A and B are shown apart, each in its own frame.
Chain A
Amino acid sequence: MKATRAHHLLWPVGAIAVLVSAETLGSLRDTTYAGTARWMLWLEVAAAASLLLGAVLAGGGRRGVALALAATGLLWLAPEWAGQIAAPTGVRVLLLALGQLVLPAATLAVLAVVVRAQPAPPSRAVATRLAVAGGAGSALLTLMLADPFRDVRCWRVCNHNPWLLADPSAAARWAGAVGTVVTIAGAVLACAAGLAAVTRHRRLAGPAGASLLLLGGLGFAALLRLQVTESPGSPSYRVAFVAAQLGALGLVASVAADRWREWQIRSALLRLVAGMRAGGGRGALPAALARAVNDPGLQVLYWSAARSAWVDGSGAVVPEPTAGAGRSVTTVVRGGEPVAAIFHAAALQVDHLERALGPALRLSLENERLYAATLAELAELKVSRARIVQTADAQRQQLERNLHDGAQQRLVGLALVLRMLRTAAQDAGDADVVALAVQAEQLAQQVLAELRRVARGIYPALLSDAGLAEAVWDLAESSTDLAVQVDARLPRRPPPPVEAAVYLAVAAALDDARSRAATRAMVSIGARDGIVRAEMADDGSLPGEHPVQQLADRIGALDGQLQVRVVDGAGACVTVEVPCGS
């Protein structure tokens, strides 16, 4: 809040200072660059004003850039103001000292605008420290230990320094030179970091070039001052001066272009939000976002906390999003939890998109995330439901196999042995044993029949062995009270869970038809477009609370559908549709 208010004050104060001083600076022919030519004056004023404008443009969104540009803009004319002969000497020397801070401030501005990789490279911290230390040292030395009156090379100010702490000495002059060199070192390091940033992001080439001009001009002039008296007439100084002005203008232009792109995206997103309020429905957000930022390859992934994974709009789990091959990822976070990951072209700057997403769009993203996460959980539930049914079926099938291959085979063996016993007893003429053997054999056959019935109830072996069509035929053949007609046309066998579900539905529908005193039933089974469809029609009385409905869970577990309807005012028609999943 405070920073915002200060930033509101900064612009008018700076603008007034620049405008008020412009005309007077232009008249100081011997003590300012601005006094030598009209165009030099306007170039300088334009550079200072643009730096302030850049600070306003960068605004609260990029506070580092705004503060560094504002400081540079305010200090930009300080050396020139020191040339005001009419002003008190104390103020002029103070301005001279502040002039030492222009290069450090510009260095910080360059670092803020160009070197913005996260995490920041170590060279950025070193450059910042060198600039601050060198600038502060030089400014303090100028203010307290330099006396322009005793300086034979004095230019702008040649009066006694009223702030002087001690007589200027050779040591003080050397210290001043060291401060200048440290400051320049910071600027050089900042330029190097800027060029390194260009190798990662080509779009930073513009601001990096402007930075070279700006810091090169200012640094060259500072270096020059150590040996040659500064003068607006000197070609070297003039070149350095013009380069610095142009660099400042260029740097601000790149900041403005950056803001312009950001504004474009933001306004496109605002239109998007307005459009979404008007309609568009679920899942429209990613497509609209892609249109808004003109990136057809844009993808939005959502975070599913329950599954600890990224999912797409349909709830399908997708791999962890990673940047690469010209694509970047912007992760939208809310309350420390990821909400969405936006995959977009690397040309679209990450910080642009992140800041352009307004609260309304964030809320929309959060809604879409909730929807996608719910879909993901639903899909997982469906899969687990199908798995439960399949596991139960597999266990039943195994149990049936165990009964057949174990108990049943042994019973057949037992019946055979009993038959042999009977034959042996007959040969021996022992009628009592024969009678007992016959009894035992009958019992064994009864147990065998009973066991077969139980095994069939556990899982119809014919279904797994011969398939759905034959198993349904078997149902029809075994029906002694209900005439069942079968029309089963399946080009190939559906997966076992589908066969089991359809078979059970047919069996249940036939049982139900019997309970409603039906005399005829028609079962049609076919497959089309990967969906197995079975229809059971009967001529029984009207269906009440339909027991086939109990199978709906099993059918639903396979993503299928079960329908019961009344046909022609009499009888029921049960329809089952199950996708084959392939």
Chain B
Amino acid sequence: MRVVIADDSIVVRSGIATLLAGAGVETVSEAGDSDALLRMVATTAPDAAVVDIRMPPTYSDEGIVAAHRIRTDFPDVAVLVLSQYVASSYAMRLLQENPSRVGYLLKDRVTDAATLTDGLRRVVAGECVVDPALVSRLFGRARSRGPLDEFTDREREVLHLMAEGRSNRAICGLMFLSVKTVETHVGRIFTKLGLADSGDTSRRVLAVLAYLREGAP
């Protein structure tokens, strides 16, 4: 796999590159800001881009904006955004603007080559990726009594994995369950939450995240 890395810190960029190299991922180019990133994506045609959310000049949401431009201009290139924000808003914005091949991981993951490469493989394969810590935070949020209280542990686990962007097939593999069992769980979850299963993974992620965030807390 060939990737482009964009981060305003050289130390972080080269560190990620070295780490990914160890996991068999080739870094074809590094960029310090989004303009350079877009140029490099255009010239090197990588499989994916690893983009820091805060970059020059304003250090706010440059990474999210760059992700949307890459996904629009280069539909074959997947984007993994690294963010320091565990809040769900940027992740949801990223998923709303880009229906597929995007991921939102916390920046703490950069030292964790396994998670990083797993995330990259998933977005390149067309999935969406949402950092598990972000989903856990939404789960751990205080809320008054509601449908979630009636969930079994198994169902909660499936919901958690769905929110992370996992497909039914991936959930099967992770939970050692049959496809049919997982589909049953998913169906029951949607019924309990009063949501319609669109079948489309990214829209499913958004619906679940939105429910966890806003729905009857």
Residue numbers of A with Cβ under 8 A of B are: 401, 404-405, 408-410, 412-413, 415-420, 423, 441, 445, 448-449, 452, 461-462, 464-466, 470, 473-474, 476-486, 519-520
Contact = CB atoms under 8 A, between A and B. Distances in A.
B54 interface: yes
Contacts of A486: 214
A417 B9 CA distance: 14
Interface string B118-150: 000000000000000000011011111000000
Interface string B79-123: 000001101111000000000000000011011010000000000
A481 B144 CA distance: 10
A420 B18 contact: yes
A470 B61 CA distance: 13
A415 B106 CA distance: 14
Contacts of A481: 142
B52 to A, nearest CB: 9
B213 interface: yes
A465 B217 contact: no
B9 A412 contact: yes
Interface string B7-47: 01101100110110010000000000000000000000000
A476 B89 contact: no
Closest 10 CB pairs of A and B: A416-B15, A413-B11, A465-B60, A474-B87, A409-B9, A470-B89, A419-B111, A483-B142, A415-B111, A483-B143
Nearest to B141: A477
Chain A binding site: helix, strand, loop or mixed by DSSP?
helix
Contact of A409 (B12, B19, B61): B12
Contacts of A401: 59
6 contacts: A408-B84, A415-B111, A441-B111, A452-B84, A465-B60, A465-B61
A563 B19 CA distance: 54
Interface of B: 8-9, 11-12, 15-16, 18-19, 22, 54, 59-61, 84-85, 87-90, 107-108, 110-111, 113, 137-138, 140-144, 213-214, 217
Contact of A477 (B16, B18, B59, B213): B213
Given A416-B16, A416-B19, A409 B11 contact: yes
Contacts of B107: 412
Contacts of A462: 85, 87, 89
A480 B141 CA distance: 5
A464 B59 CA distance: 10
Contacts of A410: 9, 11
A284 B58 CA distance: 51
A520 B59 contact: no
A416 B110 contact: yes
Given A401-B59, A413-B11, A485 B89 contact: no
Given A416-B11, A448-B108, A404 B89 contact: no
Chain B binding site: helix, strand, loop or mixed by DSSP?
helix
Nearest to A481: B142
Contact of B213 (A464, A473, A479): A473
B15 A420 contact: yes
Contacts of A417: 11, 15
Given A466-B61, A478-B137, A480-B140, A416 B12 contact: yes
Contacts of B217: 476, 483-485
A462 B61 CA distance: 10
Contact of B142 (A420, A448, A464, A484): A484
Contacts of B84: 404, 408, 452, 461
Given A415-B111, A483-B143, A423 B22 contact: yes
B78 to A, nearest CB: 22
B60 A464 contact: yes
Nearest to A414: B11
Given A413-B9, A419-B111, A464-B60, A473 B89 contact: yes
Nearest to A474: B87
Nearest to A520: B144
Given A413-B11, A449-B108, A465-B61, 17 more contacts: A404-B59, A409-B12, A413-B12, A416-B11, A416-B15, A419-B19, A420-B19, A445-B111, A464-B60, A465-B54, A466-B60, A474-B85, A477-B87, A477-B138, A480-B142, A483-B142, A484-B217
Nearest to B112: A419
Contacts of B89: 462, 466, 470, 473-474
A133 B138 CA distance: 105
Contacts of A470: 87, 89
Nearest to A418: B111
Contacts of B22: 420, 423
